[in-house]
């Protein structure tokens, strides 16, 4: 009969969940996990006219600025349009600086077309512009275009570097130190690479800062079962939004140097700093200020992206990494590894160029560019403050200041009864909480367990990106939900 | 002294060639290897005014159409410009069909911006358009948008599928059957994944076609030392440019079904067919024509790209794969794996949409689109014929018909004395030959050993993409070089 036939067919498959790559299966990535899938389902149901306790699903799960209504920076898009369709070089409605930037990019492309492959490391002139940007940012510390690698978003760079670092078996297997809580691309990649994840906990009591004694604890314990070789620092933090002090960065560098760790600095939120008295210090500047003892030897790679900051151009998948003091032979291997994928997308490379070589005073687009950028960054600052302030008015929610990046990561108290019901349903308490928030309030946030958190503590990550009026509504809904939830399970 | 200091510093590095990931180190990728690096160097030297026996370096190493002067298709670039800068929707100089396509794409983007992340699998409406294209191509065989995954070029899809397939250790380690000669992205990826590469040889005497008895030989031998689970077929071939017959494809499917192999069909050159009597048959059509015994069970994935065909838009890194009969749980794992990278570049996704939903009869851009496409494809056909014809006039070179794709892969006779000199220099004979061709004639081609070849035979891969007058010069230079080389070493 047909049932047994179907079973037979299913059995015959070559590739099944039991015969697929186990490391892929074991990887977890909550930012696009079951809660997000359920959110998409709810959206479809709403569109089909089903009744829900809410009119729309607010997807606060991901740092996706344009999806939240943020408008692109005009200059970037004008220049990208010209790069796509160079006939626009003759269009008098386009400003001269957008034309000259686009022209320079096209001159650096094979056949003057974004449709040709670039060098594996990225277009030469783009890497030159990135290097000059870094020098300006770091007060003159030199940057060599040969140390710049253009990547497909920052995550491509991070994954590539992690891949280079992994070797050994058993107790000599490479260990990589990552913060907890952390952006789960790190843990997912480490599982895929069968590397050992070495957790160090950020200090929630001190605004999620990095603690050197905790680094030392984590490292010493890890040395019993693996070979820790690299330390990842995310500054400003994701999901924890802290901005590390200059002193902290110096201490981290000293620690990494002493313990012989390769430093990976994820600095994609460097333009997103809002906290009172906070300032972004690049690892590279601090390294060079510490003198040649450090700056001549310490291996450091810094990652940046066009997806965050004020531009929020996630879809273009632009990014770069700068490698400092990397062994020349390893650098050649890195280039080879990248070459198998041929090159990162050229429109993303073009965008990298524009972002790091924006309009200058006196150029026709300058005033409008500054106006647009300032408006976005001031609004983000306002949203960061509003978020912290509203959430801290809710009993059972406590939220560290949102010093930077694009997220809050409040701690939540989950009543005992809710914990029991969660366990009965086979869910972690914070997953249970976030699923309820989605079903009852239409708000999609990611449970803290997706990022890692101290045992017995619960959090969620929510983006602060919605327009301020919508964010206000969102925060009020969170507040209302939390109160109802607490009441129900008390 | 300073020397010992430098040695000390070098010794102190965490990441060295000896401590990096050995699988990365072992991977080879000749298409961008030392010959290409030397070509770039020669170009710089020419630019600096150094005297060479040639005026320019012709990079015939890679299928990069725009770099060779091919112009982009106007319609695609107009629509992409509008997607980048939607103000152009109001520009009366842009045709209405470009506007309507761009508008539809933007409507499918979060916040109507290419700057937002798409779903990990790709934009819904793009996947719908791809599915409809496949149905048209395959004479009505149904295609489900849920089976379409948008990728960052085809290689991203191929790497991802290979990653899914790899498991086991020692004699149960996954083996993947690949053609020899083959595009080295396959072998490089297999090394990275520590999978077992199972070689089957294409039949040079029969125009590089796939031979079932050779598949059987390779499979039976491999079963002694690994678990062969997938069979990769590249049709039209790269670097070998053969177009498989319908009968061959049917035989391959029967073989794969009988031997329980997952089929991977690399069909990125499906629009590049020039050979007399040759036609592209998709694996999927043949599979469905073979009836439900095959079409209901056989696991197949087909890869396609926007980098080849008539559009040649390599830089945008657009591509898709269609999975047939994939286990649902595996499909969910595939989506999760892709989600860690968030999404493929949205401009590339937009281009995928345009390529597979091009202007239709009656639309304003239709005539010009057909004119541009036809011009490119007829020129390619002419170049394919010219290449075969000229190369076969050279004693010591024999070249199969260039039935499809973008390359010729002629066999070359290398004189005994040249072999000896190559060995003395520690080079493979064909590397020695190609390096000489570069240094003496300024022509950059890739030695056959980079793709694999039967022992004792030598080849090189050269693209046929240069404009016809330049290709004529290129072929004459190859001829002249080969004659001089043969003379010198005879």
Domains of chain A: 22-68+373-488 (3.90.1150.10), 101-356 (3.40.640.10)
Q: Confidence class of residue B336 from pLDDT cuts 50, 70 and 90?
A: confident
Q: What is the pLDDT of residue B3?
A: 46
- Out of A314, A326, A346, whose CB is closest to B115? A314
Question: How many CB pairs below 8 A link A and B?
Answer: 289
B-chain residues within 8 Å CB-CB of A109?
Answer: 66, 315
Q: Mind listing the pLDDT tens digit for each residue in A194-221?
A: 999 999 999 999 999 999 999 999 999 9
- The per-residue pLDDT for A143 is 98
Q: Do A347 and B314 touch (CB under 8 A)?
A: no
Adjacent-strand bridge partners of A100: none
Establish whether the linkage from the previous residue to B296 is cis, with ω within 30° of 0. Answer: no
**How far is A160 from A158, CA to CA, in rounded Å?**
5
Tell me phi and psi for residue B139, to 5 degrees. Answer: 60, 35
Give alpha helix (H) positions in A302-345: 328-340
Residue B91 CA, chain-centre distance (Å), reads: 37
When pLDDT is cut at 50, 70 and 90, the band that residue A34 belongs to is: confident
Residues A9, B114: C-beta atoms closer than 8 Å: no
E strands present in A386-452? 397-398, 407-408, 411-412, 443-444, 446-447
- By CB atoms closer than 10 A (0-12, 13-18, 19+), residue B258 is exposed
pLDDT at residue A408 in the model? 97
Q: Pairing mode, if any, of strands A397-398 and A411-412?
A: antiparallel
| Cβ–Cβ below 8 Å for B296 and A19 | no
Write the pLDDT tens digit of every residue in A275-329. 999 999 999 999 999 999 999 999 999 999 999 999 999 999 999 999 999 999 9
* DSSP tag of B239: T
Residue contact B115–A330, C-beta within 8 A: no
> Quick check: helix, strand or coil at residue B135?
helix
Give the whole-angstrom CA distance, residue B73 versus residue B85. 19
**More reliable by pLDDT, B137 or B36:** B137
Identity of the residue in B14, B116, B260 whose CB atom sits nearest the CB atom of A260: B14
Chain A residues with CB-CB distance to B29 below 8 A: 336, 339-340
A133 in Cβ contact with A277 (< 8 Å): no
Which phi and psi (to 5°) does residue A230 adopt? Answer: -140, 150
Quickly state the pLDDT bin for A395 (edges 50, 70, 90). very high
Q: Over 60: is that where the pLDDT of B9 sits?
A: no
Residue in the block written with tokens 């249970």: A432
Residue B259 to residues A122, A299, A385, Cα–Cα distance (Å): 43, 49, 63
Token pair recorded at residue B452:
């694999």
- List, in sequence order, every beta strand (DSSP E) within B142-195: 148-152, 174-180
Give the gap in angstroms from C-alpha B360 to the nearest C-alpha of chain A: 21
Residue-level pLDDT at B123: 96
C-alpha–C-alpha distance, residues A365 and A419, integer Å: 55
How many angstroms separate the CA atoms of B181 and B452, rounded? 5
Alpha helices in A259-327 (DSSP H): 283-289, 292-295
How far apart are alpha carbons B379 and B45 in whole angstroms? 33
pLDDT digits (tens, 9 = 90+) for A62-72: 889 999 999 99
**Residue B201 pLDDT:** 98
Is B57 a residue whose pLDDT tops 50?
yes
Helices (H) and strands (E) in chain B, counts: 18, 14
Please provide the size of chain B in residues. 490
Residues B191-211 have a mean pLDDT of 96
- Please state at what angle helix B124-137 crosses helix B96-107, rounded to 10 degrees: 120
Residue of chain A whose alpha carbon sits nearest to that of B109:
A67
Q: Which tokens in the block code for residue B474?
A: 């290129």
pLDDT tens per residue, range A330-368: 999 999 888 888 899 999 999 999 999 999 999 999 999
Q: How far apart are CA A275 and CA A376, in angstroms?
A: 16
In this prediction, residues B209-229 reach a mean pLDDT of: 97
From the list A68, A297, A339, which residue is nearest B12 (CB)?
Answer: A297
In angstroms, rounded to a whole number, what is the distance separating the alpha carbons of residues B130 and B110?
20
Complex ipTM: 0.93
* Mean pLDDT (whole number) for B330-348: 91
At B6, the pLDDT band (50, 70, 90 cuts) reads: very low
Arithmetic mean of pLDDT over chain A: 94
Other CB atoms within 10 A of residue A137 CB: 18
pLDDT at A118: 94
Quick one: pLDDT at residue B2? 45
Q: Smallest Cβ distance to B66: which of A110, A159, A188?
A: A110
Give the distance, in angstroms, between the CA of residue A175 and the centroid of all CA atoms in the same chain.
21
Element (H, E) at B228: strand B227-234
Helix, strand, coil tally for chain B in percent (to 5): 50, 15, 35
For residues A267 and A47, what is the distance between their CA atoms, to the nearest angstrom? Answer: 39
Q: Please tell me the predicted confidence (pLDDT) of residue B33.
A: 76
């Amino acid at each position: 009969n047909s049932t047994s036939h179907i079973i037979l067919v299913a059995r015959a498959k070559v590739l099944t969940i039991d015969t697929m790559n186990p490391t892929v299966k074991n990887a977890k990535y909550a930012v696009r996990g079951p809660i997000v899938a359920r959110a998409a389902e709810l959206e479809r149901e709403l569109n089909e006219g089903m009744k829900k306790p809410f009119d729309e699903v607010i997807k606060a799960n991901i740092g996706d600025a344009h999806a939240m209504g943020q408008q692109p920076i005009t200059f970037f898009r004008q220049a990208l349009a010209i790069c796509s369709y160079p006939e626009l070089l003759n269009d008098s409605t386009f400003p001269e600086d957008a034309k000259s930037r686009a022209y320079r990019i096209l001159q650096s492309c094979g056949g003057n077309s974004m449709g040709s492959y670039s060098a594996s490391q990225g277009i030469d002139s783009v890497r030159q512009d990135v290097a000059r940007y870094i020098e300006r940012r770091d007060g003159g510390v030199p940057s060599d275009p040969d140390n710049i690698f253009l990547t497909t978003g920052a995550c491509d760079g991070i994954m590539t570097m992690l891949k280079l670092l992994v070797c050994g078996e058993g107790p000599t297997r490479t260990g990589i130190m990552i913060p907890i809580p952390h952006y789960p691309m790190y843990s997912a990649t480490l599982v895929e690479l069968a590397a050992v994840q070495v957790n160090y906990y950020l200090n929630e009591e001190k605004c999620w800062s990095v603690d050197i004694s905790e680094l030392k604890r984590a490292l010493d314990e890890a040395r019993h079962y693996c070979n820790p070789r690299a330390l990842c620092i995310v500054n400003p933090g994701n999901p924890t939004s802290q901005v590390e002090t200059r002193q902290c960065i110096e201490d981290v560098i000293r620690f990494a140097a002493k313990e012989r760790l390769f430093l990976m600095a994820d600095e994609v939120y460097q333009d997103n700093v809002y906290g009172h008295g906070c300032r972004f210090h690049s690892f590279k500047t601090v390294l060079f200020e510490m003198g040649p003892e450090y700056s001549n030897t310490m291996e450091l790679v810094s990652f940046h992206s066009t997806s965050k900051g004020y531009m929020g151009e996630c879809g273009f998948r632009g990014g770069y990494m700068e490698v400092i003091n990397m062994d020349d032979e390893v650098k050649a291997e890195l280039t080879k590894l990248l070459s198998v994928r041929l090159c990162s997308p050229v429109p993303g490379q073009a965008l990298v160029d524009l972002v790091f070589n924006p309009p200058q005073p006196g150029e026709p687009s300058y005033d409008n560019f500054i106006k647009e950028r300032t408006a976005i960054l001031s609004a983000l600052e306002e949203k960061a403050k509003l978020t912290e302030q509203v959430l801290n008015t809710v009993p059972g929610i406590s939220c560290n200041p949102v010093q930077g990046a694009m997220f809050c990561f409040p701690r939540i108290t989950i009543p005992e009864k809710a914990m029991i019901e969660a366990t009965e349903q086979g869910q972690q308490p914070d997953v249970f909480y976030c699923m309820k928030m989605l079903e009852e309030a239409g708000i999609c946030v990611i449970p803290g367990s997706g990022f890692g958190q101290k045992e017995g503590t619960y959090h969620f990550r929510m983006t602060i990106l919605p327009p301020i009026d919508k964010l206000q509504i969102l925060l009020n809904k969170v507040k209302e939900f939390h109160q109802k939830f607490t009441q129900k399970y008390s």
